[in-house]
C-alpha cells in the first residue's frame, strides 16, 4: 500500500496506540481544546494540562514535548499547525514545520515509533488533501535523518482521512 514500510495508517483513536510518542494537534497556548487535542488531554489525565502550562506557549509551526502520563505512549508531542486562511499566509511552511519539529523531538528523545493525527484539518480548517500531502512529504524527508523513529503511524478519523493518506502515500 505504501512505498515506505516504515509508514502506516491506523483508523481509530490515537490515544489507544502503543507507540513511544503521540502527536497532539495543539494550539499555541498548549491548552486543552476540542477534537483530537481534547481526546488526548482526557485520556492522559489532568497532569497533561498542568505540564503544558509549565512549558508555556509554542509558536505555530513548532512543537513541545510532555510525558504521556496515563497514555500508553510515554510522550505527547504538542505540534502547533496553522489556521487555514486560504493558503497565502505561509500555511504550508508552518504545517510542514509542525511535522518536522515533532519528528525531530521524537528523534532527540529516542522514540522508535510516533503517531500523528491530521494536524490543522479539524477546527483549524486546513483542507485535508493538501494537508496530508504535506504531512507525508515532510515525514518521508525526516525519516532519512539519522536517529529518526523506525515507525510512523498516521492515525485517521474516518474514511475520508484514510483515503487522503492512502493517496498521499501512493
Please list, in sequence order, all residues whose beta carbon lies within 8 angstroms of the beta carbon of residue 58, skipping any fewer than 6 positions away. Answer: 26, 28, 30, 64, 78, 80
- Rounded to whole angstroms, what are the CA distances from 12 to 2, 9, 122? 19, 10, 15
Please give the average per-residue pLDDT across 73-79, as a whole number: 98
Q: Whole-model pTM?
A: 0.96
pLDDT higher than 50, residue 2: no
- Identify the helix (H) or strand (E) that includes residue 99: helix 91-108
Determine the pLDDT at residue 38.
96
pLDDT tens digits for range 115-129 = 999 999 999 999 999
Please give the average per-residue pLDDT across 10-27, as a whole number: 97
Determine the pLDDT at residue 56.
84
Q: Over the range 98-112, which residues count as b (16 or more CB within 10 Å of their CB) and which as e? A: bbbbbbbbbbebebe
pLDDT higher than 50, residue 1: no
Please list, in sequence order, all residues whose beta carbon lies within 8 angstroms of the beta carbon of residue 50, skipping any fewer than 6 positions away. Answer: none
Of the candidate CATH numbers 3.40.109.10, 1.10.1060.10, 3.40.220.10, 3.90.1150.10, the domain formed by 7-169 belongs to 3.40.220.10
Rg of the chain's alpha carbons, rounded to an integer? 14
pLDDT tens digits for range 79-123 = 999 999 999 999 999 999 999 999 999 999 999 999 999 999 999
Amino acid at each position: 500500500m505504501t512505498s515506505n514500510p516504515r509508514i502506516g495508517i491506523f483508523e481509530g483513536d490515537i490515544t489507544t496506540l502503543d507507540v513511544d510518542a503521540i502527536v497532539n494537534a495543539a494550539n499555541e497556548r498548549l491548552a486543552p481544546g476540542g477534537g483530537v487535542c481534547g481526546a488526548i488531554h482526557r485520556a492522559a489525565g489532568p497532569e497533561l494540562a498542568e505540564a503544558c502550562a509549565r512549558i508555556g506557549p509554542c509558536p505555530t509551526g513548532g512543537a513541545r514535548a510532555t510525558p504521556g502520563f496515563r497514555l500508553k505512549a510515554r510522550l505527547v508531542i504538542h505540534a502547533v499547525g496553522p489556521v487555514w486562511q486560504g493558503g497565502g499566509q505561509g500555511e504550508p511552511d508552518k504545517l510542514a514545520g509542525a511535522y518536522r519539529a515533532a519528528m525531530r523531538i521524537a528523534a532527540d528523545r529516542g522514540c522508535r515509533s510516533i503517531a500523528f493525527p491530521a494536524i490543522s484539518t479539524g477546527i483549524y480548517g486546513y483542507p485535508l488533501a493538501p494537508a496530508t500531502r504535506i504531512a507525508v512529504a515532510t515525514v518521508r524527508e525526516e525519516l532519512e535523518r539519522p536517529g529518526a523513529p523506525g515507525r510512523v503511524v498516521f492515525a485517521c478519523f474516518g474514511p475520508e482521512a484514510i483515503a487522503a493518506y492512502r493517496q498521499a502515500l501512493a
